[in-house]
Amino acid sequence: MYENFAFEKRARAVTGYHFPCDNASYVMCLIHGIGEHAGRYQRMAKKLAEKGIAVLSMDLRGHGISSGVRGDTAPRKEVLADVDALIEYAQELYPGLPLILYGHSMGGNICLHYRAVGRKNDVPQKYIVSAPWIKLVMQIPGPLYTCVKAASKVFPKKTIASSFPEEDLGNLKYVRPYHDDPLVHDKISLRCAVDCYDFGNAIAAGVNEDNRGAEGKSLLLMHGDMDKICDIKGSRAVAGRLSGTAGFTYIEWPGYCHEIHNGGPETTGDEVIAKIIEFILE
């Protein structure tokens, strides 16, 4: 189970989630993906709690029980400030404990962006990125993207559809309730899409990555080879550039879909969660 909390004192437009555990030795801050909400990570959080890892998360702007136009997780400057607030709250609840920042899908894009330029990017001792939005399997053609980017300046909060079949997410045992979940939506705003596209392209090309305080911090990057949403080629581009860097680990999971923590047709995701735990504890 989890407890919700507000960021009222920090004037953030998001609602937080606390997945507590007894005698925590680590705390992980989790950033979810487009269309979903932090409550979908209860299974993972429970397994982490069994190993002494508490989890804090938040419903991103325009998601779950947080306020805002559905899918409008923007502007990016404010989203990164929301991550600041989440990290600060984790430090208050668990002072002195090692902190890990984890991001999945769009959350992986945000996590990598935070690692590059986040105000408190020196705080996480380790970073974990799962199936990040660096490149999409269904890329927008250049001319169309130019139009989308121009439109985002005029109608920043206008939303477009962002939906996918449940079977593309992972093992149906764990993801089947997705489309029946009232907190799940299929929207993304133009400015949110542009923010994700622009940083994804930048990180793939190796630009906008100064890392400042995060330099030298361990990074685990993982992707499933059956991902039909976020293109594994994006992760491979980052892995190719960071290969040999101290503290960097890249893992591809055969037979795993987009939500690798929820497995694939013949897998459960338990191995991925076990790897996350191993990486945190080592």
Give the DSSP H or E segment for 154: helix 142-154
CA count, 13 A, side-chain hemisphere, 30 = 29
The pLDDT, as a whole number, for residue 111 is: 98
The residues of the chain scoring below 70 in pLDDT are 9-11, 208-212
Question: What is the model's pTM?
Answer: 0.97
Sheet holding 218-224, edge to edge: 3-6, 15-19, 53-59, 26-31, 99-104, 126-130, 218-224, 248-253
Q: How many CB atoms lie within 10 A of CB 108?
A: 29
β-strand pairing of 126-130 with 53-59: unpaired
Tokens read off for 88? 């600060």
User: What is the residue range of 152's domain?
Assistant: 3-281
The pLDDT, as a whole number, for residue 140 is: 85
The pLDDT, as a whole number, for residue 121 is: 96
The pLDDT, as a whole number, for residue 16 is: 97
Residue 157 to residues 75, 122, 197: CA-CA distances in angstroms?
10, 32, 16
The pLDDT, as a whole number, for residue 218 is: 97
CATH number at residue 78: 3.40.50.1820
Number of domains in the chain: 1
The pLDDT, as a whole number, for residue 101 is: 99
